[in-house]
Structure formats: structure tokens, C-alpha cells
Structure 1
Amino acid sequence: MRMTPEPSPSPNGTIARHAQSRITTALQDTRVVLVVGPRQAGKTTLARLYANSERPYLTLDDPATLAAARADPAGFVRGLKSAVIDEVQRAPDLLLAIKESVDKDQAPGRFLLTGSTNLMALPIVADSLAGRLAVITLLPFAQAELAGAPGDLLDRLFDGDALPPAVNPVVGDALMERVLRGGYPEALRRTSASRRQAWLEDYVALILDRNVRDIANIDQLDRMPRLLDVLAAHAGQLVNHSSYGAALGLTAPTAQKYVGILERLFLLRQIPPWSHNAVSRLTKTPKLHFLDTGLLAALRGDTAAQLQKDRTSYGPLLESFVESEVLKLATWSDQRLRISHFRTKDQDEVDLVLEDRRGRVIGIEVKASATVRPQDLRGLRQLQAAVGDKFVHGLVLHDHDRITPFDEKLHAAPVSMLWEAGVGAPKREKQVAA
């Protein structure tokens, strides 16, 4: 099969996605490439860059196309030498037909698929397409993408580089504004907080009414909006399905099932607990985070004016913001990272533990305050003692403009360290293109 032309760099005024180079590379050596992430994260915009006369664009959001794909999946795929198929989770039987097609013609780059649910939970994807499929996650805009920065802090730290200087730290109200905006492209196009709030509320309603039905048959769909509100109130806390269920009159197993559905839709993420033989008194419960803090703030009704008066609600928002930014960095990192959290029975904790395939560890703790006290590093020091020489670095990311060393491998640093270029003048933040 002749390789079709790949997209040129993004035109002026648009924001380049770091996932684009990974998609281009995968299409050159893999039969099927699947881009997954939440609705309105930019998957369609990115996928359309790869569509042309030899690789037509088809969307299953179109009723006629969806009907054809569901009525005769094999016939639908049989007529395609190559294609971009958007929202493939709406017709999951297409995946088996695609598997049969790419087994007959094993040329790379046959199909570029997008999905708004975690399709790896489907047995046909995990089993039938094994070895034929590259999965690339696309989340809402990362701050590094908005700033035009490489977003390579994790790679540099694992490579043994020193912590880069804080060139132009973002602190105070400016940092809070970024947290409240989140990263959904459509929300960022709205300049007022009230307009973003309206869009995010409509977005949640659409997801719960439409996308839940694509992946699950549940008999209490009307409970989902209230469940999402309950989960938003518990963001940054340990998962407690019994508590969620009790608030809604659901059993704990039912609440767990519904939370799993929301996770598959990329609305939230359960961060698993870190474990190690050297530490016996560790909590074994996952931690709950939302993948977009603009959405989380909208669900909680948090505004800049309220948070400036009472910062008690800001801590969970900032922690979810950092967790989301780190997850985004990990999606394009050269490292394969296991992401977890560390918490002892004595309440010492590290919000994020990043572990590579060699067992090397970076710990990240998040504080909403400008001051970091020695006791704020207790969890990081315990983590460092547990892994010994495999401890690469420990960071307390907080609302401050300077880097403070506590020892060779432990530093407090601005949150914006996650997206700063680190050397030279930072690039000017771009506007979101229509």
C-alpha cells in the first residue's frame, strides 16, 4: 500500500498537539492507530489532519454512517482500503471487521480511529487487535501545549538532568485562573467565566445523556448527574464507593460500576495506591481525581472570587490540576510510567508517584500554599527511604515563584515548572483557534 501524505505543521494561530508526532510515527509502522480521550478534547480536529482522498474521513456521529456501520460492519469495512473513522465506540462491531481486514492486508496506516471511551476495556480490542494496534491518548489541552513549550520535564528528570530554573513562574491569581479554565478547547474559546460555566454544564449533560448509553445499559441513568456532583465534592480524596452509594440510595457495587463508567468516559481517574515491600503500613485505596479542573470547578460551583475569599476548596482543585497536567505529560513521554499515590496509615502521603520500567521513582506532592514546611516533605522522605538509589527526585509543587532546595533530590518548586521551557524566555501563550 502506498503511504499517504501526512499532515503539515499546524498553521499559524493554532495550537500544536504533542500527540501529533506520535500519531504520524505510529501510522508508519502500525496497521491500526486508535486515538482515545474525552469528547471535545480535539480528537476530531487532529484526526482530520490525516484525512485525504486515499484516507477518507468518516464519522459515526453521522446517523446514516452509523446506521450503515451497525447494519453491516464487514461490508462497511470491505470497501475501505484506508480510512479515518471518528467515534468508533458507537459501533464496536466494526473493530472485529477491521481486525479481519488488516489481517488480510497488513500494510501500516490502514485505519486511524478515534474513540471517546476507553476502548481497551473491550475484549475485542485488548485481545483481537493485540499486536495490530497503537493506542494514543489525547486529553484536553495541556498547559505546555498552550504555552508552546516541549513539556519534557519528566523525561529530563528521569534522564538525570538538574531541575530547570523557574524562568517565568505563574503564581497567585494567574495560577488560579489557569486551574479554573481547564483545558477543553471549546471552553477556552469563551472569555468569560460564566460562558465557560454554561458550556461545561451543557457538556456534562450531553455526555451523561448520550455517551453513557454508548457503552453501558444502566437502569438508573437519572442518578448519574447527582453522582458526578457527589464525586466532585470528594475530588482529591480516597475512593469510597459505600459513601457515594449511600448519598444516592445505591449499593456500593452499583456505585462502583457507575464510577467505572465515568472513568471510561475520561471524566475522572482513580489513581491506584503505590505498594512496596519496604513499607508495610500503606493505604491500599485508590484516590479520586477529575481529568479537567475547569469541569471540576463547574460541578463544584467554584469561582475565583469565592476561592480568593476561602482557599480551603482550592487545595483539591490544584491537586487535580497537577495530576491532570502530569498525566498529559506522560501521554507523550518517552517513558512508560506507572502512576500511583503513596499514603501511610499515619496520613503521610505523596500525591503522585511516577515509576518507570526500571523501578526508578519520582514523587510529586502538591500544596496550595506559598510556604513549604519541613513536615510537608515527610511523605517524600519516606518514599525516598523505601526505594533508595532508585529515587530520582521529589518535588513539592506549590503556589510560589522560586525553587527551594531541601537536599540534593528534594525541592519545592512552582507548579508552572510542569510546563515551563526551563531555558531562555518562555514562549508566548497562543490563542485557541476556532
Structure 2
Amino acid sequence: MLEEPELFWRDQRGLVVLDEVHRLQNPSEVLKIAADHFPNVKVVATGSSTLAARQKFKDSLAGRKQEVWLVPMIAADLVDFRAVDLERRMLHGGLPPFFLADRVVDKDYEEWLSSYWAKDLSELFVVDKRSSFMKFVELVFAQSGGLFEAQAFAAPCEISRPTVQHYLSILETTLLATVLRPYSGGAAAEIKSQPKVYAFDTGFVAYHRGWDSLRDEDRGQLLEHLVLGEMLARFGAARVHYWRDKQRHEVDFVLEVGRRRDLVAIECKSSARKLDPSGLQAFRRRYPAGRNIVVTLHDTDQGSRRVGGLEVELVPYLRLPKLLEAWRASATAKG
């Protein structure tokens, strides 16, 4: 039907949805013709996370498209589903079939990853050893949110360090992992290159860590993933970092906001009483200007307070989207 795009588009009106568009023989040509010659047709083209990696996607469609990164369920989705259950969201994950299931069994995660290998990975990348790659995925998910050291993955996966880096680039390209680069102003005491890697979904993290219930410390770690998803959905990955110095002071996230790239420091804690301000203090000694946000799971953790000589804003996770939207709107208006 789409072998002759002009004939196809001539018969279309209004909104047209093309699902799995990356499976077309020449998807960029089909979309380019619609954008250039059929202005009354609006196209929503959905595709695999590997869309950008398809070699046959020959045209960038610059100026003709707006990309939307569909991350697993964010707070707004929980509201739309009328199921604002953060414990369930963290443990089941943010893929709707998993989140909505009364009980998610292990084979559901295993089958999803098998499908990923068959549909996304094998069509695009040359990976000689399936067992090594899947072991790498398992380890990345189990260690999600931690500092990434390539050499530590080489021996258990039985691959070389360059292959580890290649596998990581595959996960990043296919959006199964987010590689978070450190923020650095160039000081010798700062970590400048070692990334942190986050798995794309909390359900897979819980599965690979063997969690079927959550302790308070587990919730704090998974909250980082939820907060990261909120930021990625609005700002993309380029403006989101973490910060760490060589004395092991750390800030979970540093978000660059607006044209001036104001530095917002964000810490994620299951509750405000878990906050150790030493990371924020070290960061603000180096970068004094900017807001300090502590995101928690408790609605009662709200308002500003002085902690360790810093002005800190406590924000419950479900109220974070409103704050992020305000920053994005402000940046858009100024831009």
C-alpha cells in the first residue's frame, strides 16, 4: 500500500497513525512526501526504539518532525490510569501490561527480553554471542543506577572491554538503558568521564535484583529511576547529569535548565529524614547558584527548609511534574 506514497497520501485526511513505521522499506521517504506535499495530513509515526538506528532511515527529516520519547509510565500516566500506586509502579514497572497485571511472573520479563532480542536487536546489530549479551543486560539491570566500569563486566560476560562498550552503546541506542554523564566544570577533584547507567524500567530492575517486595532503601533507589523518567520525558538526556567528586560526595541529578543552563541539584530520598546534605553542600561550594530539590515519596514532605546551611525544597514525587513543566515552559518562553 505504501510502495507508492503519493497515491496513499492523496486519499488521506486529518490525522494518520503509522505504527511500526521503521518496518517500511523506505520510511523516511514516505514521511518526507507527507510533510512536503500533503500539509493537510498530520502524521503520528510510531516505531521501535531502534528507529534512529535503522540504516535505511536515510533522511533526518530535519524541520519536518517533532520527536517524542515515550518512557515507561510517568506520574501523569498513573493519574490517567486512575492507579496512583507508587509501590506497584516501582515493583511491577511502567510498561502498562506489567503495571496493570494483578501479578507479574518472572517469565513475563524473560519473554519480553527474548522478544527484544528477536525483534529489535537481531535485525540491527551484529552480536555474536547471545549468552554474553544477555548476561550483560542482566548485570546492567541488576546494578542500575550505579557507576559504570567497563572492565567489571568483561570477565563475567566473557567478552573484551571494547565489546562491553559496544554492548552498552546498543542498550543506549535501543533505549534499554540511559547513560548519564557526570557534570563537571573542569575541576581536578570532580569525576569527569565515568558514567552512571540506569535501566529503562523499574520492574526489570526489581526482577533482576530478585525483589518481590520493597524495603525503604529499595524505594529510594527506584525513586531515582522514576525521577529520571520524568526529566527524560521533558528535557531529553543531554541536559541531565549526575555529579560526584573524588571524595565520593555525590548528587543524584544535575538538571541544566533554560538557555543559561541554570544548575538544579536534585536528590531522591524515600523520605526527607533520609537526606544527608553533604553531597549538596560539596556541589554548592563549587557551584553556588541554583535550586536544591529533594524528591521524596511522602506527600507530607513539602516546603522549603534550611539543611546544612542550604535552602532545600522538599517535593513529593507526584508534585514534581508540575515543577518540571514550569521550568520547561519558562525555558521555552525565553528561548
Match of residue 382, structure 1, among 282, 296, 302: 282
Q: Is residue 2:277 matched to residue 1:366?
A: no
**Superposition deviation, residue 115 in structure 1:** 1.4
TM-score after normalising by structure 2? 0.80
Q: Distance in 2 between matches of 1:225 and 1:102?
A: 39
Tell me the secondary structure at the aligned position of residue 218 of structure 1: coil
Structure 2 residues not aligned, in runs of 5+: 324-335
Where does structure 1 differ by over 4 angstroms across 4 or more consecutive aligned residues? 121-127, 311-315
Q: What residue is the counterpart of 1:190 in the other structure?
A: 101
Give the equivalent residue in structure 1 for 2:116.
207
Q: Report the TM-score, using the length of structure 1 for normalisation.
A: 0.63
Amino acid at match of 2:171: L
2:23 is equivalent to residue 90 of structure 1 = yes
Post-superposition CA distance 1:201-242 (Å, at most 9, x none): 321221122211232122223333221111122211112222
**In structure 2, distance between residues paired with 1:134 and 1:247:** 41
Residues of 2 paired with 1:126 and 1:382: CA distance? 46
- Say if 2:190 and 2:244, in contact at 8 Å, map to a contact too: yes
1:343 counterpart = 2:252 = no
Aligned partner of 2:295 among 388, 393, 397: 397
Mean Cα deviation higher: 174-183 or 341-350 = 174-183
SS of the residue corresponding to residue 258 of structure 1 reads helix
Judging changes above 3 Å, is the alpha-carbon distance between structure 1 residues 337 and 260 closer, same or farther for their aligned structure 2 residues? closer
Give RMSD over aligned pairs. Answer: 3.1
Q: Distance in 2 between matches of 1:221 and 1:92?
A: 27
Instruction: Name whichever of 107-116 and 247-256 sits farther off.
Output: 107-116
Count of residue pairs brought into register by the alignment = 310
CA deviations over 1:34-77 (Å, ceiling 9, x no partner)? xxxxxxxxxxxxxxxxxxxxxxxxxxxxxxxxxx77xxxxx342
Q: How does 1:257-336 map to 2 (within 5 A)?
A: 257-277=166-186, 279-283=187-191, 284-304=193-213, 307-308=214-215, 313-330=218-235
Identity %: 27
| Matched AA of 2:17 | V
Partner residue, 1:130: 62
SS at match of 1:270: strand
Please list the CA deviations of residues 109-135 of structure 1 after superposition, one character each: whole Å capped at 9, or x if unmatched: 453211112434557769642122211
Partner of 1:178: 89
Summarize the Cα distance change of 1:396–1:106 in structure 2 as closer, same or farther, 3 Å threshold: same
- Residues 97-116 of structure 1: pairs in structure 2 closer than 5 A: 97-99=30-32, 101-102=33-34, 105=37, 107=39, 109-116=41-48
Gaps of 5+ in 1: 1-67, 70-74, 150-169, 422-434
- Aligned partner of 2:148 among 220, 239, 243: 239
The equivalent residue for 1:227 is 136
Does the 8 Å CA contact 2:296/2:315 hold for their aligned counterparts? Answer: yes
1 or 2 for the larger relative contact order (CA 8 Å, sep ≥6)? 1
Q: In structure 2, what is the Cα distance between the partners aligned to 1:126 and 1:360?
A: 36
Cα distance between partner residues in 2 of 1:175 and 1:97? 41
Q: Deviations over 1:390-429 (max 9, x none)?
A: x1x21222354323612674134434432589xxxxxxxx
Q: Is the 8 A contact 2:21 2:47 kept in 1?
A: yes
